[in-house]
């Protein structure tokens, strides 16, 4: 079976097999005596069946487009094979064996084997491939793409570039088993091994010996020359979970040991000066070197449990301790052989260690039938024990060191959260809830050492009729930072980092569901959220988000289903900045809005043998950014509007060739039109101090067609 999916109903789904599960029964429960007879016979009859489907066929993609096939593997014009299987059978009672496969002809293929005996053991083996086609119109002066050493290709320069495609692919193999001991115990082991390979991008900068402007003492922004580099990606992540679980009607608990081992085959990326036109008699380092993501390890032991103290009161508790380790060998300060580059490092490697602690406690109770109470406490700690040292670093491989060595500042925090909720059902048509949440955070090496937040919530639910249901929810919160002392000595004291500082938040939600007749469902929702950063004279000052949605479904018969929806989503924000000289102040207004429309229809048994379906999605996104001088006052200056218009259409038809054979045809169309000032009309070399990838904005329109035969067996 071929799976081409996008939106809510996919070609793959339209081609999908109706998974029929074979069954059988050999042993009977003692309590089943009175209902076995004919039932047991039918079950045993079903057990003899091996059910499933197999699909095969051909597909065709109309155009080359990385955007169209980004995560599906439909990026290339031409034919592709359609193949898929859903087989569910039991080779011997009471075992079962399932085999599923999708997208066998594409780079997004997926296969799953499951073998087990219900209630006794389960095993699985899975393979999953996930491509990510990022950019097909990039350019670079480098050769050696895919390796960690980039050299300028013969004849290449910032004004003479080579084509470059950026893509990565993940391949994951996972397997595991679970053993059930009696009715209460379960032991499991799951292992996942993923490789990620390909080429991504990363920025690299070099510092010239002189020239340019600005920067002040020891600065050098005017002498910094940046190039977007092709980054080699060759990583593996192995994760393992071993767990022991116990469940009975009253008490459940699970103990789990999690391991994550990340390995990066490339610890560094070295590149040559691409040939920047350096002015003022200055020169650039011949090469630069970046550190890429270091290998890391993570181990976590966790326990979570719950017990019903009574039928109406339940206690939950959970705890974990984790250890993050990173000890990759350091690269040298620089690579140009200068004293700055070859100076002795304070350590050979970081010996980084972060201990992670998490805990949860919860109590839910229903002391009266209409009253539900909940109390929850959570604790999260990041205890960074990485050793500190002073590093006399080499500025962008220039051979120059700063006047003051930098000392690494490991970041730690402790977060406490207490949540209390009460929900009361006044009558069959009215219920209400109130809640209070308290958050307390302590941080180390942060601008804000302590912050507290109080959150109050109230909601009302009204159900005057079986057909009409409405919910109104209000949330108000106040976050207070105990003090604000910038870690960086030159940070503007008027700045407040928005995730740390004082904030007033108001959130309102409305939800209405109406079923005027059994065949029609209408849903309306609105969600408004406003954040005000009350102490922020500079930085993010305010955000205002709104989301409205209307859904209508119409099911006149089992053979006809129609649906439509519209979603309006908008997020506005204001931030303040102070340009040089110190007397200026400006505001940035940021507006993001997206309208999404969906229409769909599914018609079955047309002329007795046809099933038809159509689905259409339209997403229209726009973003406006403008700057306005406040001191001195000035007129707004706006960026060109950012826009992303996506049309997505799926058509499918299935024709019954026989009782167990269908012919399926399907089509997928997608069109994306983008306007993006970051790339539109921007040359690869827009400034003699920046060399970009020179890619185009993402515009495409393409079709994929599939014709396949589906057999049931």
Q: Which residues contact 409 (CB under 8 A, 6 or more apart)?
A: 388, 445, 487
Q: What is the DSSP string of 103-168?
A: -TTSTT-EEEEEEEETTTEEEEEEEEEEEEEEEEEEEESEE-BTBSEEEEPTT-BTTB-EEEEEEE
Is position 659 an interface residue for other proteins (rule: CB under 8 A)? no
Contact 89, 50 (CB under 8 A): yes
Span 374-433, contacts to other proteins by CB under 8 A:
374, 376, 380, 382, 384, 386, 391, 393-397, 406, 408-411, 413, 421, 423, 433
Q: How far apart are CA 405 and CA 436, in angstroms?
A: 46
Question: Binding segment for other proteins among 142-150, 326-334, 476-484, 606-614 (CB under 8 A)?
Answer: 326-334
Is residue 577 a contact residue for other proteins (CB under 8 A)? yes
DSSP 559: T
Q: Which of 97, 242, 265, 306 binds other proteins (CB under 8 A)?
A: 306
Backbone angles phi, psi at 635, to 5 degrees: -90, 150
- Determine which residue in the list 223, 503, 617, 664 makes contact with other proteins, applying CB under 8 A: 617
Nearer residue to other proteins within complex by CB, 154 or 367: 367
Minimum gap (Å) between residue 262 Cβ and other proteins: 4
Residue 186 binds to other proteins (criterion: CB under 8 A): yes
Residues 619-638 binding other proteins (CB under 8 A) are 619, 621-623, 625-627, 629, 637-638
Q: By CB under 8 A, is residue 301 in contact with other proteins?
A: no
Output 260 or 607, the one with its CB closest to other proteins.
260
Taking CB under 8 A as the criterion, the residue among 89, 121, 610, 677 binding other proteins is: 677
Give min distance, CB of 365 to other proteins, in A: 5
**Nearest alpha-carbon partner for 282 in 273, 291, 272:** 273
State which residue, 607 or 621, has the beta carbon closest to other proteins. Answer: 621
Question: How far is it, in rounded angstroms, from Cα 61 to Cα 2?
Answer: 13
User: Is residue 514 close enough to count as binding other proteins by CB under 8 A?
Assistant: no
> Residue 609: which of 556, 562, 651, 653 has the closest Cα?
653
- DSSP letters, 327-375, are -PBPPPS-SS-SHHHHSPPS-SB--EEEEEEEEEEEEEEEEETTEEEEE
CB of 412 to other proteins, least distance (A): 9
- Options 29-37, 139-147, 278-286, 604-612: segment touching other proteins (CB under 8 A): 29-37
Q: Segment near other proteins (CB under 8 A), from 58-66, 477-485, 649-657, 681-689?
A: 681-689
Considering only 147, 279, 440, 644, the residue that binds other proteins (CB under 8 A) is: 644
Shortest Å distance, C-beta 614 to other proteins? 15
Among 61, 130, 138, 704, binds other proteins (CB under 8 A): 130
Can residue 594 be called a binding residue for other proteins (CB under 8 A)?
A: yes
- Take residue 615 and report the two structure tokens written for it: 């689905």
Q: CB under 8 Å to 321, separation ≥6 — which residues?
A: 300, 301, 302, 355, 356, 357
Quickly count: other Cβ atoms within 10 Å of residue 482's Cβ: 11
* Contact partners, residue 633, CB within 8 Å, separation at least 6: none
| 27 contacts other proteins (rule: CB under 8 A) | yes
User: Which one, 154 or 470, has the nearer CB to other proteins?
Assistant: 470
**Binding residue (CB under 8 A) for other proteins from 2, 6, 274, 285:** 6
The residues, ordered by sequence, that sit 6+ positions from 298 with a Cβ below 8 Å of its Cβ are 258, 259, 260, 322, 323, 324, 325
Which residues 90-119 are close enough to bind other proteins by CB under 8 A?
Answer: 93-94, 102, 108, 110, 118-119
Site for other proteins in 142-161 (CB under 8 A): none
Determine contact, residues 410/384, Cβ cutoff 8 Å: yes
Smallest gap from residue 386 Cβ to other proteins (A): 5
Tokens of 200: 């991504």
Q: What are phi and psi of 339, to 5 degrees?
A: -60, -40
Q: Is 516 helix (H, G, I), strand (E, B) or coil?
A: coil
Binders of other proteins among residues 277 to 296 (CB under 8 A) are 289-291, 293-294, 296
Nearest to 396 by CA among 268, 491, 286, 487: 286
Query: Per rule CB under 8 A, is residue 216 in the interface with other proteins?
Result: yes
547 binds other proteins (CB under 8 A): yes
CA–CA distance, 155 with 145 (Å, rounded to integer): 16
Residue 480 sits at the vertex; the CA angle it makes with 354 and 423, to the nearest 5 degrees, is 90
Q: Which of residues 225-244 bind other proteins (CB under 8 A)?
A: 226, 228, 235, 237, 239
Residue 372 CB, nearest approach to other proteins (Å): 8
Subset of 515-534 contacting other proteins (CB under 8 A): 523, 525, 527
Question: Min. distance of Cβ 524 from other proteins in angstroms?
Answer: 10
Question: Smallest gap, in angstroms, from Cβ of residue 487 to other proteins?
Answer: 8
Q: Does 209 bind other proteins (CB under 8 A)?
A: no
State in angstroms the smallest separation of the CB of 602 from other proteins: 12
Residue in the block written with tokens 């097999």: 17
For 681, left (φ over 0), alpha (ψ -120 to 50), or beta?
A: left
CB of 78 to other proteins, least distance (A): 20
Judged by beta carbon, residue 155 or residue 216, the one nearer other proteins is 216
Q: Which is nearer to other proteins, 492 or 607 (CB)?
A: 492
End-to-end CA distance of the chain: 14
Chain positions 64 to 93 lying near other proteins, rule: CB under 8 A, are: 70-72, 93
Nearer to other proteins, 62 or 338 (CB): 338
Cβ-Cβ contacts under 8 Å for 41 (sequence gap 6 or more) = none
Nearest to other proteins of 129, 155 (CB atom): 129
Token pair belonging to 416: 């406490």
Using CB under 8 A as the binding rule, whether residue 661 contacts other proteins is answered as: no
Pick out residues in 243-262 that bind other proteins (CB under 8 A).
245-247, 249, 252-254, 260, 262
- Closer to other proteins by CB, 71 or 462: give it: 71
Instruction: Determine the Cα–Cα distance for residues 681 and 442; give it in Å rounded to an integer.
Output: 47
**Contact with other proteins (CB under 8 A) among 2, 3, 109, 270:** 3
Nearer to other proteins, 91 or 155 (CB): 91
Contact between 20 and other proteins by CB under 8 A: the answer reads: yes
Residue 527: C-alpha distances to residues 148, 546, 570 (Å): 47, 6, 10
Q: Which of 78, 92, 219, 280 binds other proteins (CB under 8 A)?
A: 219
Q: Is 35 in the site for other proteins (CB under 8 A)?
A: yes
Backbone angles phi, psi at 398, to 5 degrees: -90, -10
Segment 454 to 493, residues that bind other proteins, using CB under 8 A: 488, 490-493
Contacts of 290-294 with CB under 8 Å at 24 or more apart are 290/202, 290/204, 290/229, 291/267, 291/331, 292/148, 292/202, 292/231, 292/264, 292/266, 292/267, 292/268, 293/235, 293/262, 293/264, 294/264, 294/267, 294/326, 294/328, 294/350
Q: Does 588 bind other proteins (CB under 8 A)?
A: yes
The footprint of other proteins on this chain (CB under 8 A) covers a number of residues equal to 212
The answer to whether residue 437 forms part of the interface with other proteins (CB under 8 A) is no
Residue 509 touches other proteins, criterion: CB under 8 A:
no
């Amino acid at each position: 079976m071929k799976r081409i999916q996008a939106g809510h109903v996919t070609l793959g789904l339209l081609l999908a097999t109706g998974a029929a599960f074979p069954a059988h029964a050999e042993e009977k429960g003692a309590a089943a005596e009175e209902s076995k007879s004919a039932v047991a016979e039918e079950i045993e009859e079903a057990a003899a069946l091996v059910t499933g489907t197999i699909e095969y066929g051909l597909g065709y993609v109309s155009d080359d487009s990385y955007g169209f096939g980004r995560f599906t593997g439909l990026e290339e014009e031409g034919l592709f094979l359609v193949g898929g299987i859903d087989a569910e059978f039991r080779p011997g009672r009471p075992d079962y064996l399932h085999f599923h496969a999708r997208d066998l002809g594409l780079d997004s293929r997926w296969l799953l084997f499951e073998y087990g005996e219900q209630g006794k053991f389960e095993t699985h083996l899975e393979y999953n491939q996930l491509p990510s086609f990022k950019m097909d119109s990039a350019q670079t002066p480098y050769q050696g793409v895919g390796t960690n050493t980039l050299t300028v290709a013969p004849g290449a320069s910032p004004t003479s570039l080579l084509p470059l495609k950026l893509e990565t692919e993940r391949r994951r193999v996972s397997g595991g088993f679970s053993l059930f001991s009696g009715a209460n115990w379960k032991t499991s082991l799951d292992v996942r091994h993923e490789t990620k390979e390909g080429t991504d991008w990363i920025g690299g900068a070099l510092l010239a010996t002189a020239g340019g402007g600005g920067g002040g003492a020891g600065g050098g922004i005017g002498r910094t020359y940046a190039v977007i580099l092709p980054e080699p990606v060759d990583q593996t992540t192995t994760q393992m979970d071993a767990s022991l679980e116990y469940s009975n009607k009253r008490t459940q608990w699970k103990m789990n040991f999690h391991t994550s081992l990340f390995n990066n085959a490339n610890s560094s990326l070295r590149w040559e000066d691409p040939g920047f036109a350096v002015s003022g008699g200055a020169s650039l380092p011949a090469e630069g070197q970046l550190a890429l993501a270091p290998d890391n390890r993570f181990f976590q032991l966790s326990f979570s449990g719950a017990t019903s103290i009574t039928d109406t009161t339940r206690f939950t508790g959970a705890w974990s301790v984790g250890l993050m380790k990173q000890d990759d060998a350091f690269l040298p300060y620089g690579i140009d052989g200068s004293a700055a580059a070859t100076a002795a490092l304070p350590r050979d490697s970081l010996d980084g260690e972060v201990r992670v602690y998490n805990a949860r406690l919860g109590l839910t109770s229903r002391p009266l039938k209409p009253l539900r109470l909940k109390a929850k406490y959570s604790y999260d700690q990041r205890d960074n024990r990485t050793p500190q040292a002073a590093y006399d670093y080499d500025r962008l491989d220039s051979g120059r060191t700063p006047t003051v060595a930098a000392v690494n500042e490991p970041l730690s925090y402790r977060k406490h959260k207490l949540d209390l909720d009460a929900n009361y059902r006044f009558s069959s048509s009215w219920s209400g809830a109130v809640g209070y949440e308290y958050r307390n955070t302590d941080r180390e090496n942060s601008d804000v050492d302590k912050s507290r937040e109080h959150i109050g919530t109230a909601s009302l639910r009204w159900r005057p009729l079986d057909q009409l249901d409405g919910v109104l929810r209000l949330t108000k919160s106040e976050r207070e930072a105990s003090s604000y002392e910038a870690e960086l000595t030159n940070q503007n004291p008027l700045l407040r980092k928005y995730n740390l500082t004082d904030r007033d938040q108001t959130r309102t939600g409305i939800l209405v569901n109406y079923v005027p007749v059994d065949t029609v469902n209408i849903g309306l929702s609105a969600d408004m959220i406003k954040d005000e950063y009350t102490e922020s004279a500079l930085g993010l000052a305010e955000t205002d988000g709104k989301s409205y949605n209307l859904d209508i479904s119409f099911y006149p018969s089992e053979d006809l289903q129609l649906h439509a929806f519209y979603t309006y989503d908008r997020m506005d924000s204001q931030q303040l900045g102070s340009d040089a000289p110190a007397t200026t102040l400006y505001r940035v207004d940021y507006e993001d809005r997206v309208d999404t429309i969906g229409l769909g229809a599914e018609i079955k048994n047309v002329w007795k043998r046809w099933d038809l379906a159509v689905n259409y999605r339209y997403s229209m996104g726009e973003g406006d950014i403008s700057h306005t001088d406040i001191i001195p006052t000035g007129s707004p200056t706006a960026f060109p509007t950012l826009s992303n218009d996506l049309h997505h259409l799926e058509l499918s038809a299935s024709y019954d060739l026989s009782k167990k054979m269908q012919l399926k045809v399907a089509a997928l169309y997608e069109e994306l039109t983008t306007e993006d000032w970051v790339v539109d009309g921007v040359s690869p070399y827009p400034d003699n101090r920046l060399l970009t990838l020179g890619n185009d904005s993402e515009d495409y329109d393409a079709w994929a067609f599939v014709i396949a035969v589906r057999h049931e067996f």
